């Protein structure tokens, strides 16, 4: 049974992970441990949140679960380091955990590649300066952004209070005719329960932060099960 451990910042939408575990069935374990810092969507605070020391603490907390893989479940706390810094971040996490490691930012790039996506729209909850760093990161991963929206929400806690219908509307409203998919990059946003609804309204895939984070962990663990509830990404074997 693969065990994928997730380091999650503070508290917001972490219940997406036990929900996914329930959807995937008894063969999968997705334990979550928390690290704490400010939940402000601002570059200095995000650099602190994703620091080597904080992630080492998260890896230590996950050790009791004996994970096969460890994933930093934070988009902004990884892409804010830019491509090379984010790679160094996961390399150090893998070294301290003694396990393969990744982060949500790389999960987006690899999930897009798995679906063969070249052009996407980004529906970001972040302030614009932070959202632009995500766009830059995707560009380094070979993805063209045809539209980018920024909701300007300052804290993860506020994002976590969004109602399901608001999440659906947010993703759908920020689609673009030239986009092959819509990307929603905030692990603080509770999305797993509404992915089928979003995809049905869009008529195209949606990639959300917690969805791709879970997929990336399972991919590294060597097994990604099919799940209609988790969207097209979990149906493209």
Could you read off the pLDDT of 45-54 as tens digits, one per residue?
Answer: 898 989 999 9
Is the domain of 130 the same as that of 193? Answer: yes
In a domain? residue 137: yes
pLDDT value of position 38: 76
Q: Give the whole-angstrom CA distance, residue 149 versus residue 147.
A: 7
Is the domain of 17 the same as that of 78? Answer: yes
In a domain? residue 171: yes
CA 228 to the chain's CA centroid: 19
In a domain? residue 236: no
Contacts of 157 (CB under 8 A, 6+ apart): 10, 11, 12, 39, 188
Query: Domain span at residue 89?
Result: 4-106+210-231
Is the domain of 128 the same as that of 201? Answer: yes
Is the domain of 10 the same as that of 91? Answer: yes
Q: Which of 23-37, 143-157, 207-221, 222-236 has the lowest mean pLDDT?
A: 143-157
Which pTM does this prediction carry?
A: 0.95
In a domain? residue 204: yes
Cβ neighbours, 10 Å, residue 116: 9
Cβ neighbours, 10 Å, residue 173: 10
Q: Residue 155 maps to which CATH number?
A: 3.40.50.12500
Is the domain of 101 the same as that of 124? Answer: no
Containing H/E element for 228? Answer: none
Structure tokens at 94: 């893998």
Contacts of 94 (CB under 8 A, 6+ apart): 70, 100, 101
Q: pLDDT exceeding 90 applies to what percent of the chain?
A: 85
Is the domain of 8 the same as that of 93? Answer: yes
Is the domain of 87 the same as that of 177? Answer: no
Is the domain of 204 the same as that of 215? Answer: no
Is the domain of 224 the same as that of 165? Answer: no
Q: Give the whole-angstrom CA distance, residue 160 versus residue 126.
A: 13
Q: How many domains does the chain have?
A: 2
The 10s digit of each residue's pLDDT in 110-157 is 999 999 999 999 999 988 999 999 999 999 999 999 999 888 776 767
Contacts of 173 (CB under 8 A, 6+ apart): 123
SS3 182: strand
Is the domain of 203 the same as that of 215? Answer: no
Work out whether strand 144-150 and strand 181-184 pair parallel, antiparallel, or are unpaired.
Answer: unpaired
In a domain? residue 74: yes
Q: CB–CB of 187/104 below 8 Å?
A: yes
DSSP letter (8 states) at residue 63: G
Question: Rounded mean pLDDT of 169-180?
Answer: 96
Question: Would you say residue 40 has pLDDT above 80?
Answer: no
In a domain? residue 237: no
Question: Would you say residue 237 has pLDDT above 70?
Answer: no
């Amino acid at each position: 049974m693969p065990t994928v451990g997730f380091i999650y910042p503070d508290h917001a939408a972490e219940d997406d992970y036990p929900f996914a575990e329930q959807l995937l069935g008894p063969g999968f374990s997705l334990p979550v441990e928390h690290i704490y810092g400010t939940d402000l969507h601002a570059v200095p605070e995000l650099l602190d949140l994703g620091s080597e020391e904080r992630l080492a603490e998260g890896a230590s907390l996950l050790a009791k679960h004996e994970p096969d893989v460890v994933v930093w479940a934070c988009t902004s706390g990884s892409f804010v380091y830019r491509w090379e810094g984010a790679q160094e971040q996961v390399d150090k996490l893998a070294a301290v955990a003694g396990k393969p490691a990744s982060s949500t930012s790389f999960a987006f790039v690899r999930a897009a590649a798995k679906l063969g996506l070249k052009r996407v729209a980004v529906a970001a909850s972040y302030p614009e300066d932070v959202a632009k760093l995500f766009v830059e990161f995707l560009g380094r991963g070979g993805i063209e952004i045809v539209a980018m929206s920024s909701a300007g929400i300052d804290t993860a806690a506020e994002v976590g209070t969004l109602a399901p219908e608001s999440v659906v509307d947010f993703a759908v409203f920020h689609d673009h005719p030239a986009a092959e998919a819509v990307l929603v990059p905030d692990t603080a946003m509770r999305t797993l329960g509404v992915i089928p609804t979003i995809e049905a309204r869009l008529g195209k895939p949606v990639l959300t932060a917690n969805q791709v984070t879970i997929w990336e962990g399972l991919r590294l663990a060597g097994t990604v099960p099919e799940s209609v509830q988790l969207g097209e990404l979990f149906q493209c074997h």
